[in-house]
Chains A and B, each alone.
Chain A
Amino acid sequence: MEGKQDPASPAEALSAPYVLAYTYRRSVGPVIGRFLTGLREGRIEGVRTAAGRVLVPPAEYDPETGAAVGDFVEVGAAGVVQSWCWVSEPRAGQPLDRPFAWALVKLDGADTAMVHAVDAPSPAAMRTGMRVCVRWRAERVGSVRDIACFVPDEGSGASEAPPMPPAEPVRGMLSPVHLEFTISPGATLSRFLEGVVEGKLLGRRCPACAKVYVPPKGACPTCGVPFGDEVAVSDTGTVTSFCIVNVPFEGQTMKLPYTYGSVLLDGADIPILHLISGIPADEVRMGLRVRAEWLPAGERRPTLESIRWFAPTGEPDAAYETFSEHQ
């Protein structure tokens, strides 16, 4: 079972870089907000539970009972390492750009541990049970990163945080997400897109229902079985439905109004969506016969944008019965 592959899979498939990046604006609420406000002011506060445990960083509810938490309690800016690991190759965005330790640190006066970085010269300088203290950032904004990192406590404890001017309590924070991928359309769609570069439209026939899909997918959506034979279909077809775009929107490149249509290619059983042009928008109709207008061979890329649009062939309209199944 291990490593089984579709025998029809090519050794190579198309791939492309893809980045998912966005930023959430999060509300922090009264508990986390007070903790972050405290950090900005150079103070670390936890919350006391009904059982008397002090949670740092504070939780909004007691993780053991689900009860609301009680008073805020200031805890020390130094504490004891509960566990640690050594990062020999730091990544961008981490607290230190040289090798460092991640540690669970239980601050003096707290009953739970917080995760942060420890700036130690080497793993030999780290051990569970050692004392560490906070190194404050001079410019603080109300973030867990206002603690630049922890450092081994040489006996003098944490130094005072440089003062910050008074400001409103922290109510929100920005949470950026940035993920990078190399995505592949898979074997079936790769083959189709390679055909597009050559000016061909290659469908696949389902061995169960015999329908020809263009573009083909990984499996027939109706039958759930992998597709069978490759079938070249025509670049002429029939408009089965359409809409006229009259409303401008961000990122739009076409001149208004323009028409977007479903085109049932001759030889295919599933229509594709594309632009309809070469005809005034108010003359586009169901049954209109159209042909792909390809970009010149040297300009074609593995995308359906290699077809500029579909334009009328001048043939008589197709009879409704020939495409009524696709309404």
Chain B
Amino acid sequence: MRDVAIVSFAASTTPHSNLDDVEMLAPVIHEAIESSGLARREIGFTVSGSCDYLCGRPFSFLMALDAASAWPPISESHVEMDGAWALYEAWVRLQIGDIDAALVYAFGKASQGDLNAVMATQLDPYYLAPLGVDAECFAALQARAMLDAGRCTERDMAAVAARGRRDAGLGAASADELLRAPYKLAPLRAHDCPPVTDGVAAVVLVAGDRARQLHKRPAWIRGIDHRIEAPSPGVRDLTRSPSTALAARAAGVGRAKVDLAEIHAPYTHQEIIVREALGLDASVVINPSGGAPGAHPVMSAGLIRVGEAARRILDGSAQRAVAHATAGPCLQQNLVCVLEGEQ
């Protein structure tokens, strides 16, 4: 395998932006490239993650290319998935060895529509869509399964929200204070659900010695893998995430001590499921960025987890970090990435 590292990361999130996708993206992509030290023409591959349903426009990623400087023509790809999967594609592309640098970005403005209705369009059209069931309901069924199985309490869930909100600078409400709120979709309260967020993120990946020239401490990708489970929630044990566990094993999470983990858990109980599936012990710092309770820009939230983990390697505050991204209802699909600083 060729050594590939993250050398820069930039992101922008806000509950609602008046800017369009390109206006949000252009400064963030610019910042990621500037801080990487690369010239734009050194980027051999550009790949993005987004979802047309968020803005209701087909092929919206083509318009977003205005932010990526597509002249002279560039080598480009797109996934209709969170940007973490775009990063996986970029990592694979860099393994070929003919180029040394790739730009990954993701964008989405969830505030433009009814996010719950948008997310429902990914559900089974035969058995689920006709019911008017939505993504949040599946999270609630999963949370109840966790509570019934004794795998967590509502207070454990509130504690995830309280820590995330505190670390994201959204206030110091304790878990007990949060628990006084009424149910939104019992057993979920509003703090258990992700805030609607508009956001974009960009990451620059560079291979081998070029990465060492650009940064004194690149965040090396030492393992990356993603796995998916059956779509129907009724056939899965919702209290476990075997796809996360498999991806974590393939990525080598358990091979050495982990300093911190950035977990993409849209709903609070999902952090508890993923943390266990990753096999992390109590010493691991979870989501120092605040995670989903702080901001949850659909389509870039996973890429931001990877970027936030990389940021702490790049700045020297961590040596080994794990990043996780998820997609689909009830943690259907999961990506795990292990990042390490220079030994």
Residues in A lying within 8 Å of B, measured CB to CB: 1-6, 9-13, 18, 20, 24, 26, 28, 32, 36, 55, 57, 59, 63-64, 82-88, 91-95, 102-104, 106, 112-117, 123, 128, 143-145, 173, 175, 177, 179-190, 217-226
Contact = CB atoms under 8 A, between A and B. Distances in A.
Contact of B126 (A93, A144, A179, A224): A144
Given A2-B169, A9-B23, A221-B71, A183 B18 contact: no
B17 A219 contact: no
A4 B202 CA distance: 14
Interface in B1-39: 10-14, 17-27, 29-30
B144 to A, nearest CB: 4
B30 to A, nearest CB: 6
Nearest to B143: A85
Nearest to B140: A85
Nearest to B311: A1
A82 B145 contact: yes
Q: Which 7 A-B pairs have the closest CB atoms?
A: A224-B69, A186-B20, A218-B22, A85-B140, A63-B230, A219-B26, A13-B18
Nearest to A4: B12
A24 B125 contact: yes
A179 B114 CA distance: 7
B328 interface: no
B235 A55 contact: yes
B102 to A, nearest CB: 15
Contacts of A177: 121
A92 to B, nearest CB: 8
A85 B29 CA distance: 41
Interface stretch (B130-138, B209-217, B218-226): B130-138
23 contacts: A1-B10, A3-B14, A9-B19, A13-B18, A24-B125, A59-B230, A63-B232, A85-B140, A85-B141, A94-B132, A115-B133, A128-B144, A183-B56, A186-B18, A186-B21, A218-B20, A218-B66, A219-B67, A221-B70, A224-B40, A224-B68, A224-B69, A224-B70
A190 B24 CA distance: 15
Contacts of B69: 220-225
Nearest to B188: A85
B179 interface: no
Interface of B: 10-14, 17-27, 29-30, 40, 53, 55-56, 65-71, 112-114, 117-118, 121, 125-133, 137, 140-145, 148, 168-169, 183, 185-188, 230, 232-235, 238, 294-295
Contacts of A183: 55-56, 112
A121 to B, nearest CB: 15
Given A4-B12, A225-B30, A186 B130 contact: no
A154 to B, nearest CB: 23
Most A CB within 10 A of own CB, among B130, B137, B238 = B130
A138 B151 CA distance: 42
A86 B187 CA distance: 7
B20 to A, nearest CB: 3
Contacts of A57: 126-127, 232, 234
A143 B70 CA distance: 47
A219 B22 contact: yes
A183 B17 CA distance: 11
B41 to A, nearest CB: 12
A195 B67 CA distance: 24
A219 B66 contact: yes
Given A85-B186, A219-B26, 7 more contacts: A1-B12, A82-B145, A83-B144, A83-B145, A217-B66, A218-B19, A226-B26
